[in-house]
């Protein structure tokens, strides 16, 4: 996600902001920029690509010694990663500038309102809408503080935002709603940033801002208020001892762990602006530009393939769309029959996977529409697909894909509902069940993750000497089992195979003995009775079983790993982090390189 730094104090602020942005590089970005006041003029300098491009631009300019500055690294969500869309954004009258992280869900509605009041827009971003909204707030209320507070009451979504005025650049305001924001308290200088590393070189005194808070800094003072009522809020100053690397991981030992724990937030971000909760409708305008496919070919690799296979079940049963699952490296060399009315859905976190990209090109050559489901804006797959739907998961740094799969599943589920709706097949009770369940999911997941981790840790230690594992499931549990096995082998180098539980007796069961444990997905859903009987077969051969299941399930296995009751198929969003955490804890306990497993690359750009 984007990186933000705001500084006001006694040092040259522009180089300080660029240095702060460098320590936020781990968050991922595709453009960067700074705002400061020079010769009484609010000035922004922005560049596509890496911070080096911004620095080169700044070197060619005669920058005065500004002592206040806002800086931003942008991870594109709305609008391509080009200079025009980079932050900071100035209001239409150029009186103020903002840097923003997050998504303004109702930006289109706000944009229409602001346009009718004469505001213009120079970019395609939701952030510029927020900027003009604050300017309108200042106009209506007479001050930046009140104007920002008013804007906060109008904007829906998740954000952290900083704003600076041309007329008074030595005071910077910020507001937080569900995106990280911290205040750094220095001597004769203060900072607000997305994360602590941005200012760790100058101060270790930190105030953690909470949702719904507004912050004001100048060189010598700071204050925090309720963003809506402007009532002052007392905040505690913490002294932190972390080094920069630990701070980048937000205190987590590994990026993988941090990313697993980000999943509640990821679900919220995926749904942002894509669900009308009142009407219980999915809003995926990108998809609406193409007809509902008569037949769908899902093409992907690795974890993205598993996400696609999970969605196959929903597309078939909800929208009655015949789906074929295709491993990209196979699809590209088969003579696949593609016909009129077909659609190819390519899934890729990075948007750069060579085989998936090749498959996309083959489909396009044959005139078949391609929908790309990607996380990285502006990636090759995103650019070349006829329609791109973004997962909005934020950058994934750990090589092992975790939150990306969660985001893919969330968006795929919405696609299934949307296609079912368009075919008039969406059953009213399913609609209510899914919308109610989706609304509750992020909080439930957030509450459960610490306990799931504790269980994972305990089991990982107990099974740390196993040399092989089966992962079994049926229905949507089968692709999850494949993902569980993939995670375990790539992280801990323990041999693991994901199988459809019903296939066991066609060969693999011969391997079962007391040293060969089985990990099963046996939730209280339509597949339970069948999985249960497959597990009895395993136990009859003295096999040891860990089963992810629900309270009160009628299952007798060595380890019942109980997850809360969640409606099908949303229950998968509980199973996924359990599998991820089991692998994470196994690898960590065995001393493996969790974030960079051997022989693997984050983005597989060669065949
Ligand atoms: O970027 P993509 O989603 O296209 O990558 C596909 C696979 O290489 C990827 O999912 C891989 O399997 C994961 N890193 C495994 O954790």
- Nearest Cα residue to atom 16 of ligand 1: 400
Q: Where are the alpha helices (DSSP H) in 320-467?
A: 328-331, 354-365, 380-384, 403-422, 428-462
| Domain(s) of CATH 3.40.50.10490: residues in the chain | 249-426, 447-607
The answer, yes or no, to whether any atom of ligand 1 lies below 6 A from the CB of 304, is: yes
Q: Which long-range contacts (CB under 8 A, 24 or more apart) does 523-529 make?
A: 523/477, 523/548, 523/549, 523/550, 523/553, 523/563, 523/568, 523/571, 523/575, 524/549, 524/550, 524/552, 524/553, 524/565, 525/475, 525/568, 525/571, 526/475, 526/568, 527/473, 527/474, 527/475, 527/477, 528/553
Q: What is the mean pLDDT of residues 354-371?
A: 96
What pLDDT shows up at residue 601?
A: 76
pLDDT over threshold 70, residue 1: no
69 noted as active-site residue: no
Largest CA distance in the chain: 82
- Nearest Cα residue to atom 12 of ligand 1: 302
pLDDT over threshold 80, residue 426: yes
Kind plus residue range of the DSSP H or E element containing 285? helix 285-288
Q: What percent of the chain has pLDDT over 90?
A: 83
Q: Residue 396: which residues within 8 A CB-CB, separation 6 or more?
A: 259, 349, 375, 402, 403, 404, 602
CB 87 within 8 A of CB 180: no
Beta-bridge mates of residue 593: none
Q: Per mean pLDDT, which range of 19-33, 126-140, 191-205, 546-560 is the poorest?
A: 19-33
What pLDDT shows up at residue 76?
A: 81
Distance CA 418, CA 86 (A): 32
User: 139, 457, 560, 602: which one is catalytic?
Assistant: 602
Top-ranked range on mean pLDDT: pick from 80-89, 172-181, 322-331: 322-331
What pLDDT shows up at residue 246?
A: 66
2 noted as active-site residue: yes
Three-state secondary-structure class, residue 53: helix
Q: Which long-range contacts (CB under 8 A, 24 or more apart) does 269-272 make?
A: 269/103, 269/158, 269/392, 269/393, 269/394, 269/407, 270/391, 270/392, 270/393, 270/407, 270/410, 270/411, 270/414, 271/410, 271/414, 271/438, 272/103, 272/105, 272/157, 272/158, 272/392
The answer, yes or no, to whether any atom of ligand 1 lies below 6 A from the CB of 401, is: yes
Q: In the CATH hierarchy, which fold is given to the domain comprising 249-426? A: Rossmann fold (3.40.50)
What pLDDT shows up at residue 95?
A: 97
- Nearest Cα residue to atom 8 of ligand 1: 302
The answer, yes or no, to whether any atom of ligand 1 lies below 6 A from the CB of 380, is: no
What pLDDT shows up at residue 606?
A: 67
Distance CA 581, CA 452 (A): 8
CB 68 within 8 A of CB 170: yes
Among 254, 259, 345, 353, the mutation site with the greatest number of ligand 1 atoms within 8 A of its Cβ is 353
Distance CA 315, CA 599 (A): 35
How far away, in angstroms, is 99 Cα from ligand 1 center? 32
Q: Are strands 281-282 and 275-276 parallel, antiparallel or unpaired?
A: antiparallel
What pLDDT shows up at residue 396?
A: 86
pLDDT digits (tens, 9 = 90+) for 208-221: 898 899 999 999 99
Q: How far apart are the first and last CA of the chain?
A: 29
What pLDDT shows up at residue 195?
A: 84
DSSP assigned state of 148: H
What pLDDT shows up at residue 94?
A: 96
Q: Are strands 172-177 and 213-217 parallel, antiparallel or unpaired?
A: antiparallel
What pLDDT shows up at residue 208?
A: 86
Going by C-alpha positions, the residue among 75, 74, 76, 59 that lies closest to residue 14 is 59
Q: Which CATH number is correct for 3-246, 3.20.20.70, 3.40.50.300, 1.10.10.10, 3.60.20.10? A: 3.60.20.10
How far away, in angstroms, is 400 Cα from ligand 1 center? 7
What pLDDT shows up at residue 28?
A: 73
What pLDDT shows up at residue 383?
A: 86
Distance CA 459, CA 559 (A): 9
Confidence class for position 604, pLDDT limits 50, 70, 90: confident
What pLDDT shows up at residue 81?
A: 82
CB 60 within 8 A of CB 8: no
What pLDDT shows up at residue 247?
A: 67
Give 85 or 251, the one with higher predicted confidence.
Answer: 85
The answer, yes or no, to whether any atom of ligand 1 lies below 6 A from the CB of 348, is: yes
| Domain(s) of CATH 3.60.20.10: residues in the chain | 3-246
Q: What is the mean pLDDT of residues 114-121?
A: 97
The answer, yes or no, to whether any atom of ligand 1 lies below 6 A from the CB of 490, is: yes
CA 343 to chain centre: 26
Average pLDDT, the chain: 94
What pLDDT shows up at residue 395?
A: 78
* Architecture of the domain whose range is 447-607: 3-Layer(aba) Sandwich (3.40)
The answer, yes or no, to whether any atom of ligand 1 lies below 6 A from the CB of 483, is: no
Distance CA 199, CA 372 (A): 38
Distance CA 310, CA 276 (A): 24
Measured CA angle at 264 (ends 259, 268), to 5 deg: 115
Distance CA 318, CA 324 (A): 16
The answer, yes or no, to whether any atom of ligand 1 lies below 6 A from the CB of 302, is: yes
What pLDDT shows up at residue 603?
A: 74
Q: Are strands 157-165 and 96-104 parallel, antiparallel or unpaired?
A: antiparallel
Distance CA 342, CA 345 (A): 10
């Amino acid at each position: 996600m984007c990186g933000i730094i705001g500084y006001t104090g006694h040092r040259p602020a522009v180089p300080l902001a660029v240095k702060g942005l460098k320590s936020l590089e781990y968050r991922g970005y595709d453009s960067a920029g700074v705002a400061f006041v020079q010769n009484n003029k609010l000035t922004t300098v922005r560049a596509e690509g890496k911070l080096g491009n911004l620095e080169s631009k700044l070197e060619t300019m005669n920058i005065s010694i500004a002592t206040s500055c806002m800086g931003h690294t942008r991870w594109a969500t709305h609008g391509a990663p080009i200079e025009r869309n980079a932050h900071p954004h100035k209001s239409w009258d150029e009186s103020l500038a903002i840097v923003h992280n997050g998504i303004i869900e109702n930006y289109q509605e706000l944009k229409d309102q602001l346009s009718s009041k004469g505001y213009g827009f120079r970019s395609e971003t939701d952030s510029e809408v927020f900027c003009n909204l604050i300017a309108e707030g200042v106009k209506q209320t007479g001050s930046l503080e009140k104007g920002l507070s008013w804007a906060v009451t109008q904007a829906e979504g998740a954000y952290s935002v900083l704003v600076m005025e041309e007329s008074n650049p030595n005071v910077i305001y910020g507001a937080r709603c569900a995106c990280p924001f911290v205040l750094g308290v220095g001597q004769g200088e203060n900072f607000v940033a997305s994360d602590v590393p941005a200012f760790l070189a100058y101060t270790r005194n930190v105030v953690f801002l909470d949702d719904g808070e507004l912050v004001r800094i100048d060189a010598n003072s700071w204050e925090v208020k309720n963003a809506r009522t402007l009532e002052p809020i007392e905040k505690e100053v913490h002294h932190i001892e972390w080094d920069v690397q630990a701070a980048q991981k937000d205190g987590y030992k590994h990026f993988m762990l941090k990313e697993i724990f980000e999943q509640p937030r990821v679900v919220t971000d995926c749904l942002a602006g894509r669900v009308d909760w009142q009407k219980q409708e999915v809003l995926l305008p990108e998809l609406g530009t193409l007809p509902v496919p008569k037949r769908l070919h899902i093409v992907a690799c690795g974890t993205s393939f598993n996400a696609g296979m999970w969605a196959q079940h929903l597309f078939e049963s909800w929208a009655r769309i015949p789906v074929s699952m295709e491993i990209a490296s196979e699809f590209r060399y088969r003579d696949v029959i593609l016909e009129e009315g077909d659609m190819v859905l390519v899934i890729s976190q990075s948007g750069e996977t060579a085989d998936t990209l090749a498959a996309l090109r083959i489909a396009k050559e044959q005139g078949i529409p391609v929908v790309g489901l990607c996380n990285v804006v502006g990636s090759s797959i995103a650019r070349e697909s006829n329609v791109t739907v973004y997962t909005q998961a934020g950058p994934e740094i750990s090589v092992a894909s975790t939150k990306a799969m969660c985001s893919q599943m969330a968006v795929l589920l919405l696609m299934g509902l949307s296609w079912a709706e368009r075919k008039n097949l969406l059953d009213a009770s399913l609609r209510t069940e899914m919308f109610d369940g989706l609304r509750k999911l992020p909080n439930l997941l957030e509450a459960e993750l610490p306990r799931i981790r504790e269980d994972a840790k305990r089991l990982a230690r107990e099974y740390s000497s196993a040399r092989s594992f089966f992962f079994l499931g049926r229905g949507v549990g089968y692709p999850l089992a494949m993902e569980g096995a993939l995670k375990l082998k790539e992280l801990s180098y323990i041999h693991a195979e994901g199988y459809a539980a019903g296939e066991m007796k066609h060969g693999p069961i011969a391997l079962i003995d007391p040293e060969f444990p089985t990990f099963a997905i046996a939730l209280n859903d339509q597949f339970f009775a069948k999985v249960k009987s497959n597990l009895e077969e395993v136990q009859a051969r003295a096999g040891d079983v860990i089963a992810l299941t629900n309270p009160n399930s009628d299952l007798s296995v060595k380890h019942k790993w109980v997850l809360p009751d969640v409606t099908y198929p949303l229950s998968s969003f509980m199973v996924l982090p359990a599998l991820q955490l089991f692998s994470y804890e196994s690898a960590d306990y065995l001393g493996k390189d969790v974030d960079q497993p051997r022989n693997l690359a984050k983005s597989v750009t060669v065949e």
